[in-house]
Amino acid sequence: MSELDRLQDRIAYRFSDIGLLRQALTHRSSGSVHNERLEFLGDAALNFIVAARLYTRFARVSEGDLSRMRARLVREETLAQVAASIQLADSLILGPGEMRSGGSRRDSIRADALEAIIGAAYLDGGFAAAECIVDHLLLPLITEDLGAEELRDPKTRLQEFLQSKGRGLPLYELVEEKGQAHERRFVARCSVAGMEPTEAEDSSRRKAEQQAAQLMLCKLQNLSPPAQRHAG
């Protein structure tokens, strides 16, 4: 059995046009016919399929949190790990320079090739073929654990984040009430020591506080230093 046959077994899809699979595995360092356009196509298909699966699986999760969950699944690090699990590096077609520098171990090259395979499958067998690969490789990662953080409300997550950093607890206050009795609007403020307060408006004080907490959490996380990445 050839390496391409073994790879097709591992992705649970067999190509009618094996040339498309070869192109998906070909890095631009190897020649003028490479996988970058297929990667573009596969990235779009991957994002949509993952979004659809998350939408179905997590009915209570907001749009913003679904977006964060999707980003966690389709990020380079996750895709490189999936690529490693199917031994994708063994099938990559690289130019001499990339081979000498260990390109097959680089996360970006493996992740891009995986997206290119999804794009190639779309061209080979239609959207169902792309779904087949994405479901086989990524559906096992869509578990309750993935959504555990998102399923907690923003006030709880903000409190836990601050406690993990040894910071004081947030303070909430009602800034303003608007509108008639049957259509009241509430403006709530969330304050954290050392940060500009955040404010949000909604149809209930609780919802307004939740939104203000979410805004504060985003500000704090954006200020946190990015995780260290190590070359693979």
* pLDDT tens, residue by residue, 78-104: 999 999 999 999 999 999 888 888 877
Residue 124 pLDDT > 60, yes or no? yes
| Interval 174-192 mean pLDDT | 89
Residue 232 pLDDT > 60, yes or no? no
- Could you read off the pLDDT of 213-224 as tens digits, one per residue? 989 988 887 764
- Dihedral sign for Cα atoms in the order 81, 84, 88, 94: positive
Percentage with pLDDT > 70 across the chain: 93
Q: pLDDT: is 20 or 75 the higher one?
A: 20
C-beta of residue 186 within 8 angstroms of C-beta of residue 204: yes
Residues in the chain: 232
Residue 18 pLDDT > 90, yes or no? yes
138-155: b (≥16 Cβ within 10 Å) or e: beeebeeebbeebeeebb
Q: Which two tokens stand for residue 112?
A: 């891009």
Instruction: Please give the Cα distance from 63 to 89 (Å, whole number).
Output: 35
Instruction: Cite the active site residues.
Output: 43, 115
Distance from the Cα of residue 38 to its chain's centroid: 19
28 φ, ψ to 5°? -65, -20
C-beta of residue 110 within 8 angstroms of C-beta of residue 80: yes
Query: Which residue do the tokens 């709530």 mark?
Result: 188
The H or E element spanning position 183 is none
Q: Give the model's pLDDT for residue 197.
A: 96
Q: Give the model's pLDDT for residue 151.
A: 56
Instruction: Please give the Cα distance from 30 to 9 (Å, whole number).
Output: 25
Q: pLDDT: is 122 or 66 the higher one?
A: 122
| Interval 110-116 mean pLDDT | 96
The domains found in the chain, sorted by start residue, are 3-149 (1.10.1520.10), 152-223 (3.30.160.20)
CA distances from 76 to 18, 43, 126, 159, 170 (A): 25, 11, 24, 29, 34
Query: Which of 44-48, 96-100, 137-141 has the weakest average pLDDT?
Result: 96-100
